[in-house]
Amino acid sequence: MKLPVLTITLNPALDKTVTVEDFVLGGLNRIKEWRMDAGGKGINVAKVLKNFSIDVTAWGLCAGRQGNVLTDTLSSLGIPNWFVQAKGETRTNLKVYVEHTRETTELNEPGFTVDEDVLSQFLDRFRNDVSHVALVVLGGSLPKGIPSDFYKTLIQIANEAGVRTVLDADGESFVHGIEAVPYAIKPNIHELESFFGESFRTDEEIIDAARRLIVKGIAYVAVSLGGEGSILVTKTEAIRAKPAPITPLSTVGAGDSMVAALIYCMLHGMSLEEAARWSSTAGTVTALKPGTQVCTLAEVEEKLGSVNIWSIPKTTNSN
Ligand SMILES: Nc1ncnc2c1ncn2[C@@H]1O[C@H](COP(=O)(O)OP(=O)(O)OP(=O)(O)O)[C@@H](O)[C@H]1O
Ligand SMILES: O=P(O)(O)OC[C@@]1(O)O[C@H](CO)[C@@H](O)[C@@H]1O
């Protein structure tokens, strides 16, 4: 029997994307169009995996009416889900797309506050059931009330059960998560730079930083570089992917689509080169869609040829 991928979103959101022609700071801005999508990093990964016909289950926490909207949406997409109800309300994250500049500005709410009872319900089921999944994806910010080392705890439990984990977080939860040695991580370049407190100017510097994480035991580091593409690094290989230039409509969920495509490639035993091609294309296809809509398998397959891929050889001074 094939085991499902489990995605975890502890601070999900309804993403409200509004389109304005121009943005006047301190003035009245009329909204031309708006849309609502189920959001949060793990949820976006689940949406893509479902589109890719991978068996996926979404877990997390939610609250209030918006939480019901979120779980109903997941169910209507055919994604089995289990979200422990916290007190309060699931957040709305506002994404403002300005047509004139073609830029999206994100305003993310902090979300609900979690009490110990909710957290222990979640942890108990995770402990009991984690051995029944193929892989766990942990993504996004932590709501108030959850200790910053919570991803670390979950990764430790998964590691003990022999289940691979993919971590996509930032700040303290990323730092602690790394301590538990996840199987794979997907920082964007800003998250990687803030982790090391350094800025990286070249691909070689990024690869060197990724290998400083790989020596800790992480198998797979995927660094996303927005419109510049990505670099996938393992102990023995480094592959660079660069998409053809596009005019993005919303890059929200592009990183999550990349994570989902990486998992698709891992589960199908594809090479690192193929994983670089697939994951970069998935991110780019999602960036071409408005709001938090994600790529489908057919759309990604159609565009696989439009990304440039090359290998970056190890230099004598790299680890
Ligand atoms: N402007 C763009 N043009 C082409 N491809 C893009 C663009 N932005 C993102 N992508 C694709 O999506 C991938 C992930 O993007 P990005 O680095 O922005 O992730 P992220 O910061 O984690 O995003 P998010 O957290 O919003 O999901 C990139 O590696 C690239 O392949
Ligand atoms: O506030 P967090 O948890 O860091 O990020 C949440 C979020 O911005 O990430 C997703 C895109 O990756 C969106 O669907 C969602 O609104």
Question: In this structure, what are the phi and psi dihedrals at residue 69, rounded to the nearest 5 degrees?
Answer: -60, -45
pLDDT above 80 for 51: yes
Name the residue among 142, 148, 229, 239 with its Cα closest to residue 189. Answer: 229
How many Å apart are CA 259 and CA 56, to the nearest integer? Answer: 14
Domains in the chain: boundaries? 9-311
Residue in this structure with the two tokens 């031309």, named with its chain if needed: 32
Cα dist from 148 to 121, 253, 308, whole Å = 18, 23, 38
**Ligand 1 neighbourhood includes 185 CB (under 6 angstroms):** no
Q: What percent of the chain has pLDDT over 90?
A: 97
Mean pLDDT of the chain: 96
**pLDDT, tens digit, 9 for 90 and up, residues 138-149:** 999 999 999 999
CA-nearest residue for atom 1, ligand 1, is: 227
Say which CATH architecture domain 9-311 belongs to: 3-Layer(aba) Sandwich (3.40)
Work out the average pLDDT over 117-125.
98
* SS3 category, 262: helix
Work out the average pLDDT over 202-221.
97
pLDDT above 70 for 170: yes
* SS3 category, 105: strand
β-strand partners of 97: 19, 104
Q: Which amino acid is at 260?
A: A
183 within 8 A of 163, measured Cβ to Cβ: no
Compute, in angstroms, the gap from residue 176 CA to the centroid of ligand 2.
Answer: 19
pTM: 0.96
Q: Which amino acid is at 152?
A: K
How many Å apart are CA 217 and CA 288, to the nearest integer? Answer: 35
Cα dist from 273 to 49, 204, 220, 230, whole Å = 20, 17, 13, 12
**Ligand 1 neighbourhood includes 256 CB (under 6 angstroms):** yes
How many Å apart are CA 18 and CA 220, to the nearest integer? Answer: 36
**pLDDT, tens digit, 9 for 90 and up, residues 266-286:** 999 999 999 999 999 999 999
For residue 314, the model assigns a pLDDT of 78
* SS3 category, 312: coil
Q: Which two tokens stand for residue 150?
A: 């919570």
pLDDT above 60 for 318: no
Categorize the per-residue pLDDT at 2 as very low, low, confident or very high, splitting at 50, 70 and 90.
confident
Residue of 167, 186, 252, 258 to mutate, ligand 1, most atoms within 8 A of C-beta: 258
How many Å apart are CA 113 and CA 93, to the nearest integer? Answer: 16
For ligand 2, which residues put their CB under 6 angstroms from it?
11, 13, 15, 39-41, 44, 93, 106, 108, 140-141, 252-253, 255-256, 292
Residue of 251, 281, 306 to mutate, ligand 1, most atoms within 8 A of C-beta: 251
Work out the average pLDDT over 174-180.
98
**Ligand 1 neighbourhood includes 246 CB (under 6 angstroms):** yes
CA-nearest residue for atom 7, ligand 1, is: 227
CA of 229, closest atom in ligand 1: 29
**pLDDT, tens digit, 9 for 90 and up, residues 17-46:** 999 999 999 999 999 999 999 999 999 999
- Which residues have a catalytic role annotated? 256
**Ligand 1 neighbourhood includes 187 CB (under 6 angstroms):** no
Compute, in angstroms, the gap from residue 86 CA to the centroid of ligand 1.
Answer: 31
* SS3 category, 65: helix
Categorize the per-residue pLDDT at 316 as very low, low, confident or very high, splitting at 50, 70 and 90.
low
How many Å apart are CA 6 and CA 155, to the nearest integer? Answer: 13
ipTM of the prediction: 0.97
